[in-house]
Structure 1
Amino acid sequence: MMCEWMNTCKGNKGITGSITFLLILLFTLQLAENVTSVSLVKCLYSEDCVLTCSFKPNEDEVVHWYKQQICVHSYYYQSDQLQLQNGHFSGRTSLFKDQLVHGNASLLLKRVDVSDEGLYKCYTSTVMGNKETFVDVKVEALIQSVRMEMTGEVVSCSSQNIYPAPEVAWSTDPLSGPETLQNSTVKTPDSKGLYIVESRVRILGNVFDYAYFCSVISADKAQVWTTSIKKTEELIGEAGRELSIPCIAPQNLQNFSLTWTFTRTNDPTVILSYDNRTRRTSNLWEGRAGLEQDQVLMSKGSLLLHNPESEKHSGTYTCTFTGFQRRHMVQNQVNITARRPTAGVTNVMADHMLWMIPAVSAILWQSLWNYIH
């Protein structure tokens, strides 16, 4: 009957071929039953991560976790068996033992680092049979911040502790052609395998003409951190007179914080900070500086200087808007000049000088008369 079903039965040779076919078929079915597809797990750098694995529970569970041929974790005889565990994983792995009776052989991998990335195999065995599950582990170190500076003829952008290596994109406001905004980008792994990315572009035309935008983009495009910087032309103020220093975000931010700093010779000092979610202001220059509260809700964070002094308050004022994965800085060079005499004071001095002329003349004539006689 089997030969008729296969239609290949021709003597012993046909029987042998049929048996071989059945063995291959049974082996294939066994593989399909015991081997599952590869699952992808993304683990965050330095955090704990769970590699999932399940099986049909029964008595005398045996669990082996491997990374390629390296022993990661073993469990049998109702306890961990770590004699052959690779030293890289020592003290960093554990099973959910109370879940083994429910068929959960997942591995908890602690304090993940870049070298943990790779293909893992979970082998499980009971009196009912065995099973293999594969887990492809990808490690990610997320972008935390992007730093930007404008010095001389160059705008630089940098970030660090990122994995895998990110991409960098530049733009300007107003827009400039991509052929004119050529960037130089270097990505360097550190001793932990995390990447430091440094990128720079040359300033186009006058330093005040453009705002420069640098975006650091994660390898999977899930994260985009954008920082921008803009320099304004020198602002001239007068001692004793209120001065408004402008700062406008490049777009209408929904949730943001605003910080003003002042730099004269050394490191910047904080003037004030504002959080639009709580609408609270922390002002370290109380009575000397403040915000236009009706404007700040519209992402306009101009700073009002009250009664500035020429030497003390001349310098660089920087406002920084910080939102979700966005940061915008505006640098304002402010020069406070000495107060000029008012028209009223000038007139009083002139009147006083006119009043003194007859008296001076009389003294001179008296002196001349005494000399002659």
Structure 2
Amino acid sequence: MTKACKYILVHILETLVTCVFHEDCILPCSFLPTGAVVIHWYKQQIPVHSFYYRQDQFGLQNKHFSGRTSLFNPQIAQGNASLVLRKVKVQDRGRYKCYTSTRKGNQETFVNLSVKALIQMVKVDIIEEEVICQAQNIYPLPQLYWSTEPPTDLNNLYNHTRKTADSKGLFTIESTITILGNISQHVYFCSVVSGDRSQVWTASVKQQDKFGEEGNKLFIPCMLPQPQHNFTLTWTFIKTTEPIIIFTYDSRSQRITNSWEKKAKLDIQQAYTGNGSLTLLHPESSVHTGFYTCTLSSFQMKHQVHTWVNITVPRTGTII
């Protein structure tokens, strides 16, 4: 006499998901719906989310996930057991298991979750005899590279790079190099590359001096990398402490704002080639002497040229 055997159907699937830090993320899981279902989500052995008796069960949920998980409850009857994980943290990375059980059998789906915090900005500043580059709140650990224009032997760049992590697991990377020769001889480029190499953020800085006489046109050069995407060009001026915006151009809207319309001009068409130079039309010593900054901002790039401008009063001859 042959004994009846009961077979339990088990499926094992695996998915890779990358979530962005502090954003919501979906961990996919589906099953063949056949009446009532039990759903358990685990990270390793840690309870993440459970659903049975037709409702969410939060009693065993680990406090790390408290208030941050949900299912697509109206779609469970159609076989959707996907998990929504809100405000993703670095600590959320790891291997998750979605376990579903119906009268037709059990299924296990595994999701490998990785986390990345995107590079939002790279700052480069010249302070005395050093160039400092910094990027914050990044994950995983990025890499930082220096270069100059005109090119120079990178072995001549004394490079001190420091990498630190905060309590959230996000990295700050900061690097310092010494000025090469005369401060105005080089443009300094700093590139930060994300750990998965999906992002390359580049910033640059140049510092220079310019001298002119009252009443004579003065050309303030600003040569920048040619923008490949929509960009914003901005000129600011500092006389004492607070900077004022004297010129902006947005290539997306093609909007121009020039608060020095009768004092300065700029060729917009040249800006598309990377030439953002400004011309002072009738400079005055008491008004236009100061610190000018030309900034080009575009997709994953920011480039600046700082110029100290000194407008002098022409000497007058003495009649004897």
Residue of structure 2 equivalent to 1:217 = 193
Q: Please say if residues 271 and 285 of structure 1, whose CA atoms lie closer than 8 Å, have aligned partners that are also in contact.
A: yes
2:41 maps to 1:65: yes
Structure having the higher Rg: 1
Q: The residue matched to 2:91 in structure 1 has which SS? A: helix
Superposed, 1:12-31 pairs within 5 Å as none
Return the offset for 1:252. Answer: 5.1
Residue of structure 2 equivalent to 1:207 = 183
Alignment CA distance shift 1:57-1:269 (3 Å): same
Return the offset for 1:263. Answer: 2.1
122-131 vs 250-259, which moves further: 250-259
2:250 maps to 1:269: no
Return the offset for 1:332. Answer: 1.3
**Structure with a larger share of its residues in helix:** 1
Distance 2:289 2:151 in 1: 32
Q: The residue matched to 1:312 in structure 2 has which SS? A: helix
Cα RMSD for the two superposed structures:
2.0
Alignment CA distance shift 1:319-1:99 (3 Å): same
Distance 1:191 1:254 in 2: 35
Return the offset for 1:294. Answer: 4.4
Aligned pairs, number:
315
Return the offset for 1:306. Answer: 2.4
TM-score (norm: length of structure 1): 0.80
Q: The residue matched to 1:59 in structure 2 has which SS? A: coil
Residue from 172, 177, 183 that aligns with 1:196: 172
275-284 vs 207-216, which moves further: 275-284
2:217 maps to 1:246: no
Q: Please say if residues 119 and 138 of structure 2, whose CA atoms lie closer than 8 Å, have aligned partners that are also in contact.
A: yes
Residue of structure 1 equivalent to 2:4 = none
Q: Which amino acid counterpart does residue 275 of structure 1 have in structure 2?
A: D
Q: Please say if residues 240 and 339 of structure 1, whose CA atoms lie closer than 8 Å, have aligned partners that are also in contact.
A: no
Distance 1:292 1:166 in 2: 37
Distance 2:228 2:278 in 1: 18
Q: The residue matched to 2:270 in structure 1 has which SS? A: helix
For residues 232-264 of structure 1, the C-alpha deviation after alignment (integer angstroms, 9 at most, x for no partner) is: 2x2111112221111111335442211111123
Identity of aligned residues (%): 52
Distance 2:58 2:284 in 1: 72
Distance 1:245 1:339 in 2: 19
TM-score (norm: length of structure 2): 0.93
Residue from 336, 343, 346 that aligns with 2:311: 336
2:70 maps to 1:83: no
Distance 2:270 2:152 in 1: 30
2:136 maps to 1:164: no
Q: Which sections of structure 2, spanning at least 5 residues, go unmatched?
A: 1-6
Alignment CA distance shift 1:70-1:303 (3 Å): same
2:115 maps to 1:142: no
**Structure with a larger share of its residues in strand:** 2
Residue of structure 2 equivalent to 1:284 = 259
Residue from 266, 274, 287 that aligns with 1:312: 287
Q: Which amino acid counterpart does residue 300 of structure 2 have in structure 1?
A: Q
Distance 2:93 2:225 in 1: 39
Distance 1:292 1:131 in 2: 65
Q: The residue matched to 1:285 in structure 2 has which SS? A: coil
Q: Please say if residues 292 and 304 of structure 1, whose CA atoms lie closer than 8 Å, have aligned partners that are also in contact.
A: no
168-177 vs 275-284, which moves further: 275-284
The structure whose RCO (Cα within 8 Å, separation 6+) is larger is 2
Q: The residue matched to 2:249 in structure 1 has which SS? A: strand
Residue from 11, 19, 22 that aligns with 1:34: 11
Distance 1:183 1:292 in 2: 38
Q: Which amino acid counterpart does residue 320 of structure 1 have in structure 2?
A: T
Q: Which sections of structure 1, spanning at least 5 residues, go unmatched?
A: 1-26, 354-373
Dislocated runs of 4+, deviation >2 Å: 250-255, 276-279, 292-299
Q: Which amino acid counterpart does residue 194 of structure 1 have in structure 2?
A: L
Q: Which amino acid counterpart does residue 287 of structure 1 have in structure 2?
A: K
Q: Which amino acid counterpart does residue 20 of structure 2 have in structure 1?
A: L
Residue from 154, 169, 172 that aligns with 2:130: 154
Residue of structure 1 equivalent to 2:72 = 96
